[in-house]
Structure 1
Amino acid sequence: MNAQIFNANPTIYVSQKSSRKSRFEAGQSLWVDDDDDDDEERSSDADVEPIDQDEIFELIRSISDPEHPNSLEELRVVSAEQIEVGDNHIVVEFTPTVPHCGMSTLIGLCIRVRLLRSLPPRFKVDIRVQPGSHQSELAVNKQLNDKERVAAALENPSIVETIEKCIETAESSRRV
């Protein structure tokens, strides 16, 4: 891709476990709501597995930065607090390491592709730059959430190759 490095010396943070407990850590089932023990009352159409922000964060935290050998979590580009989960709507905000980061659109595409591959198709996903964190915030947000622009970007073999390299670490970290 581009040989220019936008942030040659990023700050790298040690991964810290969130003080919030995930559903798993809280002893709740990750698959169904255990409060309802009557299986006969459940219908297969009504069973929709809930997804929380910790699960979304787990999917994207280990995506590699396009410029550096570090994860988005290590660079504090993404965090669980920047994720909102509604019924069938997920909003992920990310924070570029520098306000003029030319890799912001590529990072957003990596997050989008990772989530599209991992989540059920019922979810609408919006990817946004954290307000005030990028000098071209509106342009980046428009690029990342316009279906035609995303589709055009994903037809470019060079962009797809870079995305595959970045999300390869996220996909391999989920295999245990």
Structure 2
Amino acid sequence: MFLTSFLKKISSSENKPQPTKVDNVISEDAVPISSVNLPSWKDGTVWSTPLGSQHDVISQCQEIKEIITDLLRMVKDPEKPNTLADLQVITDESVQVQPFEGDGYLVRIDFNPTVPHCSLASLIGLCIRGKIQKNVLERIKLDIVIAKGKHSTEEEINKQINDKERVAAALENPNLKELVDSCIREEE
């Protein structure tokens, strides 16, 4: 149902190419979907509606969620000696996973900066993205966002940490890349 309303909203806007049917979309009816118009952090309705799907798909999503949550527990805060889990920036509820396009997954991570004006929120988002991209081999579409109402400039930061070109440009800076690497490095 939620996917149907989302797709109707997309298909009614602008002159976009006709969507193609995806065989393994989890819904009550077969719903056409365009891989160009995947839901993202901007469409909160996708993430607020629970899946009513097959048991094996739910268990695969749960397994990916646990893997990602465990990985994120080890990410260090850029300012403090604590991890993001120690500071409650990342919790078990922070990671959401849903299937898309057959063998792919939508992964959304809502993180909660320690203060509403945290100057390092973008860097924390980069660290989260770097840790997942370095360690998760599954085919995923990754959305990292600040939890709603938890930062004074959340919309701007969400755009920044979900823009591939901005992320790539940020990681071209050797000092920033070194800082991200030190935050995601696992202790031996």
What is the TM-score of this pair, normalised by structure 2?
0.63
Q: Distance in 2 between matches of 1:160 and 1:121?
A: 24
Which residue does the alignment assign to 1:125?
142
Which residue does the alignment assign to 2:79?
67
SS of the counterpart of 1:172?
A: coil
User: Which of residues 67, 70, 75 in structure 2 aligns to 1:55?
Assistant: 67
Q: Distance in 2 between matches of 1:140 and 1:131?
A: 12
Q: Distance in 1 between matches of 2:106 and 2:138?
A: 11
State how 1:44-123 maps to structure 2 within 5 Å: 51-87=63-99, 88-120=105-137, 122-123=139-140
How big is the alpha-carbon RMSD for the aligned residues of Structure 1 and Structure 2? 1.8
Shift of 1:141: 0.1
Shift of 1:96: 0.2
1:172 and 2:163 equivalent? Answer: no
Structure with greater contact order relative to length (CA < 8 Å, sep ≥ 6) = 1
Shift of 1:133: 0.3
SS of the counterpart of 2:132?
A: helix
Q: Distance in 2 between matches of 1:74 and 1:121?
A: 27
Q: Which consecutive aligned stretches of 4+ in structure 1 deviate over 3 angstroms post-superposition?
A: 49-52
Give the gaps of 5 or more residues in structure 2: 1-54, 100-104
Aligned residues: 125
Kindly, what percent of the aligned residue pairs are identical? Answer: 44
What is the TM-score of this pair, normalised by structure 1?
0.67
Shift of 1:172: 3.5
User: Which of residues 150, 169, 175 in structure 2 aligns to 1:152?
Assistant: 169
Task: Compare the two structures and name the one with the higher helix fraction.
Answer: 2
Which residue does the alignment assign to 2:154?
137
SS of the counterpart of 1:154?
A: helix
* Residue identity matched to 1:113: G
Q: Distance in 2 between matches of 1:102 and 1:126?
A: 20
Shift of 1:56: 1.0
